[in-house]
C-alpha cells in the first residue's frame, strides 16, 4: 500500500513538473497541453512501461527450452518467495547486471545480462535473482519502471525546449533564460525524484533476497564482483537510456565525487557490510 502511495505521489510530481515546463514554454496553453501529455504518459506508464523498458535494453524473453538452467533457477526462487512465476529475459551485454520490472507480482519480469551469467557462480547468481524477486515481492517494480519512463519523457521535453524555444499564450517569445533553466532543471528534477525513491529500497531488497536465497554471503560476493566489473565494462543499453540505470542491481552509471551525489543506489560497500552482518545473524 505504501509503495502504491509513493507511485501516486511520483505521478503527481511528474504531472506538476510537466505543467511547469509547459507553462514556461507556452504560457497557459502550454500548461494545458503539458497536463494532457502528462495524463497520457501516466496511463501509458502504468500499463506499458515494463514493455518499453525491456525494449530499451534489447531484452529477449527466454523459457525452459531456450535457457533451461536460468529459467529453472528463477522458478525455484519464485516458489520459495511465494510469488507467481515472472517472465524471464536475457540481455546480450557483457557488463554484468540484472533488474526486475512490471506493474505488480502477477505481471512481473526479471532480466539478467549474459555477462552476469558468465562472471558469477551459480550460487552468486541465485543471490542476485533472489534480490530481484525481493523487489517484485516488495512491489518496488512499478514505481521503478514508471520513474524510468517518466524521466525519459522529461528529458525529451527538455530537448524539445532546446529545439523550439519558449512562447507565451499569444505566441510571443518569452525570456530565453527561463527556457535554459527549464532545460537544465527538468532532467535534474526527474533524477532527484528517482534518487528519493531508490536508495532505501536496495537495502530492503538485499535483505529480502538474502532471506529468499538463504545465502546473504553469496549476494554480498555477487555485488562485489558486479561492482568491480561494471567499472570497466560499459552497459551499452543503459548508456543509450540512462534513465534505466536506477533499475539495475548495481547502477552502471554511478561514480565518485559530484556524480556520486546523484547515484540512485547506496554505496556497494555499505550493502556488502549489511549483508555480512545479516549472514552472522542468520548463521549462514
**What is the Cα 151 distance to its own chain's centre?**
10
| Residue 132: active-site member | yes
Give the three-class secondary structure for 102.
Answer: strand
Q: What is the gyration radius of the CA atoms in the chain, in angstroms?
A: 20
pLDDT in tens, 76-89: 999 999 999 999 99
Give the three-class secondary structure for 91.
Answer: strand
- At residue 248, the pLDDT reads 93
* Cα distance between the two ends of the chain: 32
Q: Which of 262, 8, 9, 17 is nearest to 156 (CA)?
A: 17
Q: pLDDT band at residue 75, thresholds of 50, 70 and 90?
A: very high
**What is the Cα 100 distance to its own chain's centre?**
8
Cell readout for 229 is 566489473
Q: Which of 3, 253, 281 is nearest to 134 (CA)?
A: 3
Among 1-15, 56-70, 204-218, the range scoring the smallest mean pLDDT is 1-15
**Active site residue: 61, 76, 93, 132, which one?**
132
Query: H/E element holding 208?
Result: helix 176-213
- Could you identify the residue written with the cell 525455484? 76
How far apart CA 230 and CA 35 sit, in angstroms, is 39
Q: What is the mean pLDDT of residues 187-199?
A: 61
Give domain limits for the chain. Answer: 2-282
**pTM here?**
0.79
Q: How does DSSP classify residue 173?
A: B
What is the percent of the chain where pLDDT is above 90?
Answer: 46
Answer yes or no: are the C-beta atoms of 33 and 26 closer than 8 Å: yes
pLDDT in tens, 244-261: 888 899 988 755 444 444
Amino acid at each position: 500500500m505504501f509503495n502504491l502511495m509513493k507511485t501516486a505521489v511520483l505521478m503527481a510530481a511528474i504531472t506538476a513538473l510537466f505543467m511547469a515546463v509547459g507553462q514556461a514554454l507556452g504560457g497557459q496553453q502550454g500548461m494545458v497541453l503539458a497536463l494532457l501529455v502528462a495524463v497520457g504518459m501516466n496511463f501509458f506508464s502504468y500499463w506499458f512501461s515494463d514493455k518499453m523498458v525491456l525494449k530499451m535494453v534489447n531484452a529477449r524473453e527466454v523459457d525452459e527450452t531456450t535457457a533451461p538452467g536460468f529459467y529453472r533457477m528463477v522458478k525455484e526462487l519464485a516458489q520459495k518467495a511465494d510469488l507467481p512465476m515472472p517472465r524471464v529475459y536475457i540481455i546480450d551485454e557483457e557488463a554484468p547486471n540484472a533488474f526486475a520490472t512490471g506493474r505488480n507480482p502477477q505481471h512481473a519480469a526479471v532480466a539478467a545480462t549474459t555477462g552476469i551469467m558468465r562472471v558469477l557462480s551459480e550460487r552468486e547468481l541465485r543471490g542476485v535473482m533472489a534480490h530481484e524477486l525481493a523487489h517484485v515481492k516488495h512491489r518496488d517494480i512499478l514505481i521503478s519502471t514508471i520513474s524510468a519512463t517518466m524521466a525519459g519523457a522529461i528529458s525529451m521535453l527538455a530537448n524539445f525546449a532546446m529545439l523550439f524555444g519558449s512562447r507565451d499564450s499569444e505566441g510571443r517569445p518569452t525570456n530565453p533564460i527561463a527556457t535554459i533553466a527549464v532545460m537544465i532543471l527538468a532532467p535534474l528534477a526527474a533524477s532527484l525524484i528517482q534518487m528519493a525513491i531508490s536508495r532505501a529500497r536496495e537495502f530492503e531488497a538485499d535483505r529480502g533476497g538474502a532471506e529468499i536465497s538463504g545465502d546473504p554471503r553469496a549476494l554480498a560476493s555477487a555485488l562485489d564482483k558486479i561492482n568491480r566489473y561494471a567499472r570497466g565494462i560499459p552497459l551499452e543499453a543503459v548508456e543509450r537510456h540512462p534513465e534505466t540505470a536506477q533499475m539495475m542491481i548495481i547502477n552502471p552509471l554511478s561514480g565518485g565525487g559530484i556524480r556520486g551525489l546523484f547515484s540512485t543506489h547506496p554505496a556497494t560497500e555499505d550493502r556488502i557490510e549489511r549483508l555480512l552482518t545479516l549472514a552472522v545473524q542468520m548463521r549462514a
